[in-house]
Structures are given as C-alpha cells and as structure tokens.
Structure 1
Amino acid sequence: MTENEGPKHKRDLTRRKVVVTGAGAVAAVGVAGGLAAGAFAGETGKGKKTPTPKASGSAGVCYTLTSETTEGPYYIDADKLRQDITEDKEGIPLTLSLRVIDNETCRPIVNAAVDIWHCDALGLYSGYESLSTGGGGGDAPSGAPTDGASGTPTGEPPTDAPSGAPSGGTGGGGVHEEPTDDKRYLRGTWKTDRQGRVTFKTVFPGWYRGRTVHIHTKVHVDGTWTDAGYEGGTTCHTGQFFLDEESVLLSATVEPYSTSTTERTTLTEDTIYDQSGTAGGLLKLKYNKKNIAKGVIGSITMGVDPDATNDGTGTSTTASASASATAS
C-alpha cells in the first residue's frame, strides 16, 4: 500500500450520512452544539472573547483560505459521530481545538460536520490494517528516536506525489481503497457550535514512509442533522493538519513511537504540505517541552468557502463556477 494522494479519485460528495453508534448517541445529536462548546472544559475559559481574524490584504476577504489537499485512499464516509476518537489506542494525548469560518466574512460556520482521521502511533489506519502494516519494531523500545526520527530521513524523499507508505505496505496509490476491516479507531465526526468550534480528543499521530506526520479533515455543510446522524449537503473543504518538527522529534522519545523503525519524511520534504504555515494546515501546539507525554493541545482556524464543493483531489469548485460551466 502506498498513500499516493494524487488527483485520480473523484467521489460523490452530494450525499453524506454519519452513523450514530453507542448508548446515548441519538440524544447526543440533538445537543451536539452545546456539547461541542463545553467539551473538554478548561481549554477555553468562560468569558473570554473569541478573537476575530484580522483583515488580509485582499479586498473582501478577511482570512486566508485554508489549503485544499487530497483526500488520500483511507477515507471512510460513514464514521462514528463522536468527539473522543481514541478508543484503546496508545499514544500521547492530543486535544484538537478547531474553528471553521467563512474566509470572506469571518463568520463562523455553524452546524457543519467536521471529520478527522489519522494513523496511530505506529502508522496504522483503522479499516486498513492489512494494507498499512505500520512501523513498529519487534525489539524492546530503546527509549530514543531511531535514525528515521532524528530529523534526517534515512531514505530518499518523494519527488512528486507521495508514493511512500507504512513499512511493508502494498498497492493503493491515490485511488480510494475499500476498507479491509471493521475497526474505526482514530476516526470521528462532530458538529460545529455557534462559534464554529469543534473539539476532538485523540492521540498524537505517528509517521510512515513517504509522508510527514499529519491528520486528515473534511468539512461538510448544508446537510441535515437527524436522529440517525448527518445527511446530505456538500463537502466544502478537504484538508490536512500538520505538526511541527520539534513536537514530532519529542514524540519519538516516547513509547510506542520510540519503537518505530520506519523512515520519516520531514515537514519540509513532504509533498502535500505547501509550507505556508497556518494557511497550509500547520497546527499551533501547546505542551510541556520537558514532558510531551503529558499531552498536547493543537488548535487552528480553518478559513473555508462554504459555497465551494471539494471532491477530495485537492481542488474545489464554487456554485457560480459550476453554473457558468453548465451554461457554456
């Protein structure tokens, strides 16, 4: 398997359904906005005013449009509706505090469905364990990063669309793969609140050959929240979040990351990250540099075009553009 996230696979994003699972899930849908605002208390103190993004140089645009990226082969369209996606996976606790706004008006995108999914500490994707064999070593942890996690990859970096994959993987490429198992750890969907905010609890992702450490995301709008989940609407944003080199190197000293023997592609060598910082999906991270194992808080504001439709290939079209194309 290789995660060649190239523009080969186009998917029908006009129909979306998120399956609600677990006791109390139906009730959770009805109060999703309130739960999202109060989840994981302490991250945003009461009474604090939400900062408003400053105007950019472009007229009529208040915030930089967040980069669109490819979906990759491991997206599953019917994820679980939940904020805690950890399940039983080991790793450094990671809380993701996300905000979704209209990049032209800076108004929050309310009631959007936000997906996130990523590999575990050793490079495995749920639903695709037989394709993504991960990078775990068979020996006892050494307690220190391997050469592949030292900041200098041991192999040649990819020169075009990433062709790398977890060590030992086979096939795949950029075309969407059908799931090979029913596991769904480190995947989830939740609803943005009245401030456009949504919070997820997960673990710090690991790495695999050919890609830097990253988290996938999608934003769906204009759908309907029902007792069964989220249906209809369009996908206005498909992107990835990235983690800085310092945090990745520190994570590599912590088990189970320290057992990985997989080559690691650095942030500057990744062919998906566009090196544009926050606009490119780079998370702002907070953690104790002397003890990252205690946990990390990652935050970012995503500026999106709610009228656009993104097909997962890294490009998007707007309603007006589609109308013009049809007319011509």
Structure 2
Amino acid sequence: MTGNETDNKTSQGPKHKRDLTRRKVVAAGAGAVAAVGVGGAVVATASAGETSENGSASPKASSSTSEECYKLTSETTEGPYYIDADKLRQDITEDKEGIPMTLRIKVIDSENCKPIRNAAVDVWHCDALGLYSGYESLSTGGGGGAPTDAPSGTPTGEPPSGAPTDGTGGGGGGVHEEPTDDKRYLRGTWKTDKGGFVTFKTIFPGWYRGRCVHIHTKVHVNGEWTDAGYEGGNTCHTGQFFFDEESVLASAEVEPYSTSTTERTTLDEDTIYDGSGTQGGLLKLKYKKSDIAKGVTGTITVGVDPEATNTGT
C-alpha cells in the first residue's frame, strides 16, 4: 500500500486541475483492450460496442478476441499499508462515497498465456479524499510528513523537482506499517475463476500528495483456499494499476473528489509508474465521457511467473 508522500511538484492553477498529460499510450493499435508486461502480457482486440479508454465509442469490431503473449507485468513496491488477506470479498466499497468502479483483472502465466485458476488476488487503495483504511491517522489525504511508496534508497524513476529522492518522505517510507485502526474499506481478496478472471466492485480512487491515482494489487498462487482464507503458496506478483490523466481530470469534477484541496501528482510526474503504458499497469477504462459519475469499468491482464516470488518489500 502506498502512504501519502511529500509533493513539491508543479502547482499551476487549481491544485487538482493539472494539464492533461501528453503521453498517449497505444497498445496493439487503436482498438486495443489491455496488455501488461515489462518483459508478458496479453493484447486483445476490442469487441463490438466497446468504448475507448476515455469513454468515447470505438469502431464496431468482431466479438472475437485474439491474444499474443508478451512479457511479465511490472513489479512495484508494496508500500506501507498492505494488510494480508483481511477481507475475502469482491465488493470492497463498504459505505465509501465515490464514482462506482468495476475492476476486472485477468491473471495469466506469462510463459504460455494460459489463465491461472484459483489464484488469490488482493486489491487495496485510498478513498476519494486520499485516506487508507487501517491507517487513517497516517494517510492524511495529502498532509505533510506522510509515507511514500518508494523504499528508502531505491529511486523508481526521475523524481519531480523538490521531491525527496530517497523515498522516505517521513513516516517510514515504503517500510510496512502496522495498522492503526480497525477499518477495512476499499480492501479485498478474491480468487480467479477458470478463465483467470476476478472482479471487484469498488470506487474510483482519489489522490494524495506525491502520488498519481492508483490501486495496489498482489497475486498469490500455489496455495490452498480454506475456511480461514488462502494459505501457503507464494506471492508471484506485487504491482499497481494506474489511471490515465483524462479520466482523473473528469473525476475531479465530481463530488467528493472536487472538494479535495490536495495538490495532485500527474501520471507523468509519478515516481512509481514506469511509463510503459499497459505494460506497467495502466488500466483500460470505459465510462460515459460526458458523465463519469455514472461509473467506470477498468480492465487489465496481468502476466505472472507462477514460480517466482515478488513481495514488493
């Protein structure tokens, strides 16, 4: 999980209404759905009636999809706010206000592109105003001195001007923190089906100082589902999912996001996102461009090595 980190980045105009990033990510042509991998993933062509990443209608296409194997999905830091398999559920919203979001993840073996069944997938993220459940006293929604995602001494990209380069940011940096409260909203773990899919019901995340809008994830395999949850096996992937600038700017016009006074970090400025588009966790988003408040669907395919261990710590 990420903690809030100090952000001394550009602050032109209203704090959350930053210019739309110039990065245009193209995956497998204009009709691409999702691809992941820095070194495996899947590219799928759009099916009939789908909307584009910013919500505009795409050309009609065949309902069939074709897939091509690529490389492993990018690994990232776990951050300080992970809680292990605390809630086995698909609806993680609880009573949190925000734009409804359906997150659909497909997990595949990056070597052969076969879906991985019964994997345990964790997701967790902040609420619309930047707070993490279990750590509300630490994740201050952009207040000074909150933790960063980056482990101390491990730069993950070109840091923004004035931002700390050692990733500490106060409050323990990327080192895991013990929970400070018993709240567990916007967290959940569920298993993939026979097609490798898992779906979560949540809200569009907000932002906090020093990080772009994102969702954390882990994939656990080779273990067993029991009455107590998921036991044994190995964590083969720790990563983050990211949101394009157009969708974030649209969300910033909707309450309660619009009430945030926190300066926002753009996708380009983020020190965790590696700039590789869907390879690095950039979600394929579908929503009504004129009314994002109606809801968003985010999809991505995650290519993993089932035998690897990637805990992000």
Q: How far does the alpha carbon of each residue in 1:227-273 deviate from its partner, in whole angstroms, 9 at most, with x for none?
A: 22111111000000000000000000000000101111100111100
Q: 1:51 aligns with which of 58, 62, 65?
A: 65
Q: Supply the distance in 1 between the matched residues of 2:256 and 2:140 (Cα, whole angstroms).
A: 15
Give the structure 2 partner of residue 36 of structure 1.
none
Separation in structure 2 between the aligned mates of residue 176 and residue 249 of structure 1, nearest angstrom: 31
**Residue 203, structure 1, aligned to residue 208, structure 2:** no
In the alignment, is the contact (CA less than 8 A) between 1:236 and 1:308 conserved in 2? yes
Contact 1:287–1:297 (Cα < 8 Å) also in 2? yes
Measured in 2, the distance between the counterparts of 1:162 and 1:79 equals 27
Shift of 1:66: 0.5
Counterpart check, 1:189 vs 2:203:
no
Aligned residues: CA RMSD: 2.1
Name the CA shift for 1:192/1:49 in 2 (closer, same or farther; >3 Å). farther
Q: Going by fraction, where is helix more abundant, 1 or 2?
A: 1
Whether contact under 8 Å (1:3, 1:73) holds in the other structure is no
1:140-160 CA distances to partner (integer Å, 9 max, x unpaired)?
xxxxxxxxxxxxxxx946363
What's 2:15 paired with? none
Secondary structure of 2:181 counterpart? coil
**Stretches of 4+ aligned residues off by more than 6 angstroms:** none
User: In the TM superposition, what are the counterparts of 1:50-129 in structure 2 within 5 Å?
Assistant: 51-54=65-68, 62-129=69-136
> Which residue does 2:309 correspond to in 1?
309
Output the CA distance in 1 between the equivalents of 2:166 and 2:203.
Answer: 26
Verify: 1:284 aligned to 2:302, yes or no.
no
Residue identity over aligned pairs, in percent, reads 78
Counterpart secondary structure, 2:95:
coil
Tell me the equivalent position of 1:274: 274
| Aligned-partner residue type, residue 119 of structure 1 | C
For 1:178 and 1:265, the matched residues in 2 are separated by: 26
Deviation at 1:172, TM superposition (A): 2.7
Report the TM-score when normalising by structure 2: 0.73
TM superposition score normalised by structure 1: 0.70
Relative distance call for 1:178 and 1:263 in structure 2 (3 A) is same
Residue aligning to 2:19: none
3-state SS of 2:249 partner: helix
Counterpart CA distance in 2 for 1:88 and 1:122 is 14
Flag structure 2 segments of 5+ consecutive residues without an equivalent.
6-49, 51-61, 144-159
Counterparts of 1:99 and 1:161, CA distance in 2: 34
Q: Name the count of aligned residue pairs.
A: 241
Q: Could you tell me how far apart the structure 2 residues matched to 1:278 and 1:171 are? A: 31
Amino acid at match of 1:77: D
In structure 1, give the amino acid aligned to 2:204.
Answer: F
Unmatched tracts of structure 1, length 5 or more: 5-42, 55-61, 137-154, 165-169, 314-328
Matches within 5 A, 1:123-272: 123-135=130-142, 156=161, 158=163, 160=165, 162=167, 171-272=171-272
